[in-house]
Every structure is written in structure tokens, then in C-alpha cells.
Amino acid sequence: MLVACHKHSYDIEPDTIRMHLPMDPILLNPVISEDAYSSTVCSRIFESLLERDRKTLKMKGQIAEKWIIGDDKLTYTFNLRRNNKFHDGKPVTSADVLFSYNMMMSEKIPNAHKKVYYKDVLSISAPDAYTIVFKMKKRYAMALEHLGGFEVVPKHIYSQGDFMKDERNMWGPIGSGPYKFTEWKVGQRLTLTRFEDYWGDKPEIKKLEFVIIKNEAVALQALKKGDVDSYNLRPLQWTRQTDSAKFKHDFEKIKYLATSYRYIGYNMRKPPFNDRRVRQAMAYLMDLERVKKTILENLAEVTTGPFLPQSLQYNQKLKPIQYEPEKALELLKAAGYARNADGLIAKDGKPLEIELMVSAGGGFADQFASVMKEDFSRAGITLNIRKLEFQTLLTKINQRDFQSVMLGWSSGIESDPFQLWHTSQREKGHNFTGFGNAETDALIEQARLTFDDKARNAIYHRFHEVVYNEQPYTFLYTSYALIAVSKRFTNVNVYPLGLDLLEWKLKKANGTQAFP
């Protein structure tokens, strides 16, 4: 029996899924890249020794089939699968793991955000072609996740030429994951094809196409037309623009709390944000509940600190700071500010003027910043919104050349705050606000040495409390992932860590493969 087809703007094979990306990845080299879009694509191409199971949250093997932790918790031995190949057919061996680790840790590679997790590694060795041994200087509670968590690239490919070069003009990224790189048309789409010699269960979906559409309204129309199969809806789209009978017939809508949070970060190195009272005042000037109800359609949770609210690390006793402009003005007065003859908040004759950097492209950041600008103006504070391309924005914060910035972090269900908050990461790491003191450093370091989950989480609760009081960020929201998926796919399951695309299957109709 034939299944009815829809027409598309370009020919598409029936066993392909087209996923939306709002912009191109920056760099498809997992050793270097740090943006979420690169990570989304790289996670299909590359593998690490281990990964965290989306359903059970326990560690499970990828390149490694088994591992042994020494009784002293200072020695970690990984045994590699012997049937694992890279996309060019060469075997994955311990030499590739060793090379990948050494490149990641090279002083020539600008990835301080990765290096911090390995600062206590004493040595790495390869006794044979399928064994890797790490020895630690001291115990680290999250050692297994990080030692097993870095992506492995083929030495015979990546040791040639310039490791830092963008692969768009080279051979394309080569890994050992379930999909291999096929094509990248910048600004249009990026295509991956199923790797037929993959060691594990091969996904049923043979081809992934990441369709690049920057405009949210255009992306939604592409979804409705059938040119995109999976799209992360915006709150207004979820509640009001995808509620028709036809949409519900064609698409499944899936909602779960995302493993990420939004924030506004402040440069604490110079005025006005070197004063805690000013940072605290910023939080009292933001009506987060109103924005949650309006812009976010109640599809987010206001958050208070540097961990996911669904995580045991999160201190549930701390409540979101409420919108209290008068309290904000009291804090600013204590910091030396007063209202001048023009009704503006000023200090030493200079009105308080704040620049907020946001990523260009519209969406939530634009809407939220506009609300902030109005609320701050009523309080007598000038807010200047500076829109930058994402790569330019990242460059600015990495150079510490900013006053305040709106961004978000993706996080594991359990995370080590070292790279974001330890004082050693102020200059080159991701602690771009310049936060930290002796107590917070001690808490971070103590938690790394604490293997008992309850005791470690108690330390993190205290750390959360200190960050909450200091307000290096105004913590905003953890949003719900609002995914629309074409009903031509089945076995779309939701786990604590989200969806697992590798499980998806094509819907069958009377024994015949359905296609759009």
C-alpha cells in the first residue's frame, strides 16, 4: 500500500530526519568547540570512552566496553572495544585516546573549560592497543565521568595539518559515532549519514539533516510544511500557534524540564558591578514572574543558582528574589547612588548606565531585554542593549570585555562548578565574571574530594547559598524543552536526560514504510 506524500522544497529521502538548528555550528572539532550547536552535531559524530545513560543516569560504555576503578580511587583502567572503527575504516585504539587527551591538554589548544576537569591527573598510559590507564594525584568524586567523557578523534587524521583549522574547508570531521559527516552548506543545512560499520546497534534513521533557520517564525512554517521534522518550539508557539487539529494530527508535542539555565552575568572587575549591592539591586529590578507568565507562557521555572533545579545539588531552600524596585533603590543608596534633578540614579554626578550584551537574532533575549529596559528606565537607570553575533559575543566575554551579558549554560544532571566559579578560572576559564573567594574555592575543592553523595550535595547547597548572596549572575530561568516531532517517527521516549534520537523508528503503515 502506498502512503500519501507531501511536497517539499527539496528532495528528501524517506529515512531522513530533518532537525532544526537556529544557527551554524562554530567548529566541528569536539576538542576545541564550546558552543551548544557544535556540541549537538558533534555528539552524533564522535564518541567518548563512556557516557551517562539517559534513562538510568549511570555511566555506560561507548569506546570502552569495561572499566576498573582502583580501591584507592586513584587508578582508572579502561578496556576498549576491539570491534570499534572510525568512519574511514581504521580501528579505534588506545593511541587515539592518548592523542585526543594530549591534544585536549596541550597549552596550544584554547579550551580552558575542558582542561580544568583533568588538573589532578598524574599520568595517562597505554599498556597495549586496547587499554588506557589514568593515575590521579588525588581523589576526585567525578573522575570517572570526566576521564571517560572526552571525545576521541583519530590520531592518523588529526595529527596532520593545523589542528585548529575549520573543517568546512577540509576533509570534514571524522569520528567513530553512529553517524558520519557528509556535507555542510553553510547557512542552509548540515548532513550526517548512518555509519554502517558502527560497533553498536545502528539507528534506524539513516540520515540526519540539521536545517539552519535563524528566524523562529520561518522555522515554525518549515515545520508545518514538512521541511523540518523536529523543532524546539518557543513558548508562544507551543501554547497558541501549534494548537490546531491538523498540527496535533501531524506532530507530537513533548515537554520536559531542560538541562540548562539562563542568566545575566556581571563583570565584577570594575564599577558598578564590583559592588555586591549593585548586583543584588539588579535582581530586585527584574520582574521574573511577570515575564514567566507573559513571554514564557508559564513554561519555565525561575531559578536561583548555579545548578539545575531538578538536581540534588540544587538548594531548594533558597527562593527566587522577588520584584521589589524599592528594595533595589535602598541597595543602590547604600552603594552611594542617589536620584538626581533629572530623576536618574547617579553617583558622583554620573548617571547609572548599563550595557547588556545579547546574542543577535531575536527571540527571548530580545523580548526580555526590552522588558528590562522599560523597568530600569522607570527606576531611573539607563539600560543600553548591544546585540552581537554569537561568536563575537563569546570573543568579548573571553576577553573580559563586557559589562553585563545574557547567556545560558547547558549542564549535566550533576556538575562540578570548578570551571565556572573557581578563582583559578578568572583569567582564561569560564569564570568570566571574576567571582570567588577563599570560602567558595574551599567548598568547590572539598566537594571534589567528597565521594558520599549526601555529604557532597550538602557542600554544594552551601556553595549555592554563597553564590545566591553574592549575585555574580542574576539567575533567570530553567525553561521546559518544548519539542515538536513529526508523527512519522515512533519510539520517541522522554528520559531524565531528554530524548534519545538513536531509538527513533520510522512509522509503518500496513507493513509499508511511511514517508513524507
Please indicate, yes or no, if residue 250 is contained in any of the structural domains: no
SS3 content of the chain, % helix, strand, coil (to 5): 30, 25, 45
Q: pLDDT grade, residue 6 (50/70/90)?
A: very low
Q: Spell out the residues 6+ positions from residue 169 whose beta carbon is closer than 8 angstroms to its own.
A: none
Tell me if 257 sits within 8 A of 310, measured CB to CB: yes
Tell me if 503 sits within 8 A of 493, measured CB to CB: yes
What is the Cα–Cα distance from 421 to 429, expressed in whole angstroms? 9
CA-to-CA separations, 476 to 237, 288, 370, in angstroms, rounded? 21, 7, 15
Scanning 134-194, the segments in alpha helix (DSSP H) are: 143-147, 155-158
Locate the DSSP E strands across 121-250: 121-128, 131-136, 179-185, 189-194, 207-212, 230-232
Pairing status of strand 300-302 against strand 121-128: unpaired
Tell me if 175 sits within 8 A of 86, measured CB to CB: yes
Across 199-222, average pLDDT: 95
pLDDT at 10 over 50: no
Across 392-415, average pLDDT: 93
pLDDT at 504 over 80: yes
What pLDDT does 147 receive? 97
Q: pLDDT grade, residue 436 (50/70/90)?
A: very high
Please indicate, yes or no, if residue 147 is contained in any of the structural domains: yes
What pLDDT does 161 receive? 81
What pLDDT does 213 receive? 95
pLDDT > 70 in the chain, percent: 95
Torsion-angle region of residue 91: left (phi > 0), alpha (psi -120 to 50) or beta?
beta
What is the Cα–Cα distance from 23 to 189, expressed in whole angstroms? 10
Q: pLDDT grade, residue 354 (50/70/90)?
A: very high
What pLDDT does 449 receive? 94
Tell me if 100 sits within 8 A of 176, measured CB to CB: no
Tell me if 476 sits within 8 A of 302, measured CB to CB: yes
387 three-class SS: strand
What is the Cα–Cα distance from 39 to 230, expressed in whole angstroms? 17
Joined grid coordinates for residue 516: 513524507
Across 224-230, average pLDDT: 96
Pairing status of strand 50-52 against strand 59-61: antiparallel
Positive or negative, the CA dihedral 198, 204, 207, 213 is negative
Q: What is the CATH number of the domain that holds 293?
A: 3.10.105.10
Residues 320 and 463 in one domain: yes
What pLDDT does 2 receive? 30
Q: What is the CATH number of the domain that holds 63?
A: 3.90.76.10
Tally of CB atoms within 10 A around 24: 24
Residues 151 and 281 in one domain: no
| Cα within 13 Å of Cα(207), Cβ side | 13
Amino acid residing at 66: K
What pLDDT does 84 receive? 97
Joined grid coordinates for residue 287: 520582574
Please indicate, yes or no, if residue 88 is contained in any of the structural domains: yes
Please indicate, yes or no, if residue 343 is contained in any of the structural domains: yes
What does the pLDDT look like over 313-350, one tens digit per residue? 999 999 999 999 999 999 999 999 999 999 999 999 99
CA angle 237, 240, 245 (to 5 degrees): 105
pLDDT at 3 over 90: no
Range of the domain at 89: 36-158
What pLDDT does 27 receive? 87
Q: Structural domain tally of the chain?
A: 2
Tell me whether the omega of the peptide bond preceding residue 272 falls within 30 degrees of 0, making it cis: yes
pLDDT at 307 over 70: yes
Q: Using H for helix, E for strand and C for coil, what is the string for 25-41?
A: CCCCCCCCCCCHHHHHH
Last residue of a domain, one of 107, 138, 158: 158
Tell me if 417 sits within 8 A of 444, measured CB to CB: yes
What pLDDT does 515 receive? 36
Tell me if 80 sits within 8 A of 65, measured CB to CB: yes
Q: pLDDT grade, residue 5 (50/70/90)?
A: very low
Task: Output DSSP code: residue 203.
Answer: P
Joined grid coordinates for residue 326: 524599592
Please indicate, yes or no, if residue 231 is contained in any of the structural domains: no
What is the Cα–Cα distance from 63 to 195, expressed in whole angstroms? 15
Tell me if 239 sits within 8 A of 294, measured CB to CB: no
Residues 267 and 123 in one domain: no
Tell me if 6 sits within 8 A of 223, measured CB to CB: no
Q: pLDDT grade, residue 8 (50/70/90)?
A: very low
Tell me if 484 sits within 8 A of 467, measured CB to CB: no
Tell me if 289 sits within 8 A of 323, measured CB to CB: yes
Please indicate, yes or no, if residue 243 is contained in any of the structural domains: no
What does the pLDDT look like over 58-116, one tens digit per residue? 999 999 999 999 999 999 999 999 999 999 999 999 999 999 999 999 998 888 888 98
DSSP tally for the chain: helices H, then strands E:
16, 28
What does the pLDDT look like over 241-266, one tens digit per residue? 999 999 999 999 999 999 999 999 99
Joined grid coordinates for residue 242: 501549534
Across 191-204, average pLDDT: 96
Pairing status of strand 382-388 against strand 353-359: parallel
Residue with the bigger pLDDT between 246 and 411: it is 246
pLDDT > 90 in the chain, percent: 84
55 three-class SS: coil
Residues 328 and 467 in one domain: yes
Joined grid coordinates for residue 283: 535582581
What is the Cα–Cα distance from 15 to 4, expressed in whole angstroms? 15
Tell me if 479 sits within 8 A of 296, measured CB to CB: yes
Please indicate, yes or no, if residue 336 is contained in any of the structural domains: yes
Last residue of a domain, one of 98, 124, 158: 158
Joined grid coordinates for residue 502: 538513536
Last residue of a domain, one of 123, 158, 193: 158
Please indicate, yes or no, if residue 73 is contained in any of the structural domains: yes
Positive or negative, the CA dihedral 448, 453, 455, 456 is positive
pLDDT at 511 over 80: no
Tell me if 275 sits within 8 A of 222, measured CB to CB: no
What is the Cα–Cα distance from 60 to 199, expressed in whole angstroms? 15
What does the pLDDT look like over 275-301, one tens digit per residue? 999 999 999 999 999 999 999 999 999
Residues 152 and 267 in one domain: no
Mean pLDDT of the chain: 92
What does the pLDDT look like over 28-69, one tens digit per residue? 999 988 888 999 999 999 999 999 998 888 999 999 999 999
Pairing status of strand 494-495 against strand 508-509: unpaired
Residues 389 and 266 in one domain: yes
